[in-house]
Amino acid sequence: MGNEMALQNDLGNLADANLQQADFKDAMESYQEQLAIARKMEFTFAEVRALQGIGDTLVRQGDPRGARQFYEKSLQICRERKAAQTLPFCLSSVARLLADQGDIPRAESILQENLERSGKSESKDSIADALEELAGLLVKKSQLAEARAKYEQAFSIETQLASISPHLPGGRSARRSGSGCS
């Protein structure tokens, strides 16, 4: 089991690197291998990470319809298995794609759910990320004052987090890398 755990993690990291370099074929192959191992292991976090990675790859290839299927599947898995740590990232991915496709009301509903769930979990990191996602959507809706307020709330939380962990340079890029499910 330990070797499979390391292998699926390495495959996810390799896929992320390939995706960053626009090597879509190799990224897709690595995410699919990671997905197969994760399912065999019944490891929800890795399964969701692989599904999100496949979705990210399809978006980068210009196939948002295909990506939506994988994002929706990852969201379904998170909800069914009550994967609380992974759910915020899945909600954000689906909402971003919906917003990009013009389904602003559904995207906003999902982001509101994300913010509510993050607040209940009391994870400051998740709350800041949810606020930033919601602010970005408000910008798309030209609700700039509301967007600014959400960004300011997120910045305040991130400043607190940076002071708690001074070894981190602060901001979401220091706390999270990859597709959000890594």
Write the pLDDT tens digit of every residue in 107-144.
999 888 888 888 777 778 888 888 998 999 899 889 99
C-alpha 84/C-alpha 118 separation (Å) is 9
Share of the chain above pLDDT 70, in %: 88
Please tell me the distance from the alpha carbon of residue 60 to that of residue 54, in angstroms, as a whole number: 10
Closest CA to 89 of 117, 120, 60: 117
Greater model confidence, 88 or 48: 48
- pLDDT of 95 above 50: yes
Residue, of 166 and 105, whose pLDDT is higher: 105
Helices (H), 24-63: 24-41, 44-60
Q: pTM for this one? A: 0.70
> Of 3.40.50.300, 3.40.50.2300, 1.25.40.10, 1.10.3720.10, which CATH number belongs to 1-82?
1.25.40.10
- What CATH superfamily classification does 84-182 receive? Tetratricopeptide repeat domain (1.25.40.10)
Please answer whether residues 96 and 133 qualify as being in contact, where contact means their C-beta atoms are separated by less than 8 angstroms: yes
Could you give the percent of the chain with pLDDT greater than 90?
45
pLDDT at 29 over 80: yes
How far is residue 129's CA from residue 114's CA, in Å, rounded to a whole number?
9
Phi then psi for residue 177, to 5 deg, are -130, 170
Measured from the Cβ of residue 89, the count of other Cβ atoms closer than 10 Å reads 25
Please check the confidence at residue 165 and state whether its pLDDT lies above 90: no
Question: What pLDDT sits at residue 177?
Answer: 37
Give the model's pLDDT for residue 35.
Answer: 96
The confidence score (pLDDT) of residue 24 equals 96
**Which stretch of DSSP H or E encloses residue 71?**
helix 64-80
What pLDDT is attached to residue 121? 74
The pLDDT value given to residue 93: 84
pLDDT at 175 over 60: no
In the chain, what are the domain boundaries?
A: 1-82, 84-182
Cβ neighbours of residue 3 closer than 8 Å, sequence gap 6 or more? none
Q: How far is CA 85 from the centre of its chain?
A: 11
Segment 159-163 mean pLDDT: 82
Q: What is the pLDDT of residue 94?
A: 86
Are 168 and 159 contacting, i.e. CB atoms less than 8 angstroms apart? no
Equal CATH topology for 1-82 and 84-182: yes
Higher pLDDT, 7 or 121: 7
**Cα pseudo-dihedral 60, 4, 173, 113, rounded to 10:** 80
pLDDT reading at 176 higher than 90: no
pLDDT at 174: 37
Q: Check whether 98 has a pLDDT greater than 90.
A: no
Q: Are 144 and 138 in contact (CB under 8 A)?
A: yes
